[in-house]
Protein backbone atom coordinates (compact mmCIF):
# COMPACT_ATOMS: atom_id res chain seq x y z
CA UNK A 1 0.00 0.00 0.00
CA UNK A 2 1.28 3.46 -0.85
CA UNK A 3 2.85 5.33 2.04
CA UNK A 4 0.48 8.29 1.54
CA UNK A 5 -2.54 6.12 2.37
CA UNK A 6 -3.14 5.58 6.06
CA UNK A 7 -4.87 2.56 7.50
CA UNK A 8 -7.70 3.31 9.89
CA UNK A 9 -9.40 0.93 12.31
CA UNK A 10 -12.47 1.01 14.53
CA UNK A 11 -10.10 2.06 17.34
CA UNK A 12 -8.46 5.08 15.68
CA UNK A 13 -11.12 6.16 13.13
CA UNK A 14 -12.33 9.08 15.22
CA UNK A 15 -8.81 10.35 15.87
CA UNK A 16 -7.46 9.95 12.31
CA UNK A 17 -10.58 10.85 10.32
CA UNK A 18 -13.24 12.70 12.31
CA UNK A 19 -10.79 14.90 14.24
CA UNK A 20 -8.51 15.50 11.25
CA UNK A 21 -7.80 19.13 10.40
CA UNK A 22 -7.85 18.12 6.72
CA UNK A 23 -10.76 16.61 4.81
CA UNK A 24 -10.48 12.80 4.76
CA UNK A 25 -11.39 10.35 2.04
CA UNK A 26 -11.94 6.86 3.45
CA UNK A 27 -12.00 3.76 1.23
CA UNK A 28 -14.02 0.99 2.89
CA UNK A 29 -12.81 -2.26 1.32
CA UNK A 30 -12.11 -5.98 1.78
CA UNK A 31 -9.36 -8.25 0.48
CA UNK A 32 -11.83 -10.58 -1.30
CA UNK A 33 -13.58 -7.73 -3.16
CA UNK A 34 -12.72 -7.53 -6.88
CA UNK A 35 -14.00 -3.97 -7.45
CA UNK A 36 -11.99 -2.88 -4.37
CA UNK A 37 -8.82 -4.07 -6.10
CA UNK A 38 -9.78 -1.97 -9.14
CA UNK A 39 -10.28 1.20 -7.08
CA UNK A 40 -7.26 0.72 -4.80
CA UNK A 41 -4.53 1.97 -7.21
CA UNK A 42 -6.65 5.03 -8.02
CA UNK A 43 -7.06 5.78 -4.31
CA UNK A 44 -3.28 5.49 -3.87
CA UNK A 45 -2.65 7.88 -6.80
CA UNK A 46 -5.11 10.39 -5.35
CA UNK A 47 -3.42 10.15 -1.96
CA UNK A 48 -0.16 11.25 -3.59
CA UNK A 49 -1.82 13.91 -5.76
CA UNK A 50 -3.74 15.47 -2.86
CA UNK A 51 -1.01 15.03 -0.24
CA UNK A 52 -1.18 17.87 2.27
CA UNK A 53 -4.72 18.81 1.22
CA UNK A 54 -6.70 15.62 1.88
CA UNK A 55 -5.97 12.66 4.13
CA UNK A 56 -6.65 9.40 2.32
CA UNK A 57 -7.37 6.30 4.38
CA UNK A 58 -8.43 2.68 3.92
CA UNK A 59 -10.62 0.76 6.34
CA UNK A 60 -10.86 -3.03 5.98
CA UNK A 61 -14.52 -3.85 6.65
CA UNK A 62 -13.79 -7.46 7.64
CA UNK A 63 -11.27 -6.44 10.32
CA UNK A 64 -13.21 -3.36 11.52
CA UNK A 65 -16.97 -4.05 11.54
CA UNK A 66 -18.11 -1.21 13.83
CA UNK A 67 -17.20 1.80 11.67
CA UNK A 68 -18.78 0.52 8.41
CA UNK A 69 -21.88 -0.44 10.39
CA UNK A 70 -22.07 3.05 11.93
CA UNK A 71 -22.04 4.62 8.46
CA UNK A 72 -24.52 2.15 6.95
CA UNK A 73 -22.13 0.66 4.43
CA UNK A 74 -23.85 -2.11 2.52
CA UNK A 75 -21.68 -2.41 -0.58
CA UNK A 76 -17.96 -2.10 -1.12
CA UNK A 77 -15.92 -0.36 -2.17
CA UNK A 78 -17.53 2.66 -0.58
CA UNK A 79 -15.57 5.90 -0.50
CA UNK A 80 -16.78 8.48 1.99
CA UNK A 81 -15.51 12.04 2.18
CA UNK A 82 -15.41 13.57 5.66
CA UNK A 83 -14.80 17.19 6.59
CA UNK A 84 -14.90 18.67 10.09
CA UNK A 85 -16.06 15.32 11.50
CA UNK A 86 -19.07 15.05 9.21
CA UNK A 87 -19.79 12.97 6.12
CA UNK A 88 -19.96 15.27 3.08
CA UNK A 89 -20.70 12.69 0.41
CA UNK A 90 -19.98 9.14 -0.75
CA UNK A 91 -19.61 6.99 -3.84
CA UNK A 92 -20.19 3.25 -4.01
CA UNK A 93 -18.61 0.79 -6.41
CA UNK A 94 -15.67 0.83 -8.79
CA UNK A 95 -16.15 4.35 -10.09
CA UNK A 96 -13.77 6.20 -12.45
CA UNK A 97 -11.01 8.44 -11.07
CA UNK A 98 -12.89 11.55 -12.28
CA UNK A 99 -15.87 10.64 -10.09
CA UNK A 100 -13.64 10.31 -7.02
CA UNK A 101 -11.93 13.62 -7.84
CA UNK A 102 -15.37 15.23 -8.13
CA UNK A 103 -16.09 13.91 -4.63
CA UNK A 104 -12.81 15.31 -3.25
CA UNK A 105 -13.55 18.63 -4.96
CA UNK A 106 -16.45 19.17 -2.59
CA UNK A 107 -14.00 19.56 0.31
CA UNK A 108 -10.90 21.25 -1.15
Of residues 33, 39, 54, 81, which has the active-site annotation? 33
In 3D, which of 13, 75, 4 has the Cα closest to residue 41? Answer: 4
CA angle 32, 16, 91 (to 5 degrees): 50
Q: Provide φ and ψ at 70, rounded to 5°.
A: -60, -35
Contact 59, 71 (CB under 8 A): no
Q: Is 59 a known active-site residue?
A: no
Of residues 5, 26, 36, 91, which has the active-site annotation? 36
Contact 39, 95 (CB under 8 A): yes
Which residues are catalytic, by number? 33, 36
Amino acid sequence: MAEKVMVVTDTDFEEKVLKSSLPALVDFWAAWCGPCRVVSPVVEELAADYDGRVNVAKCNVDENPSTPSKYGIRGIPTLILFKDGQELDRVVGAVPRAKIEELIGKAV
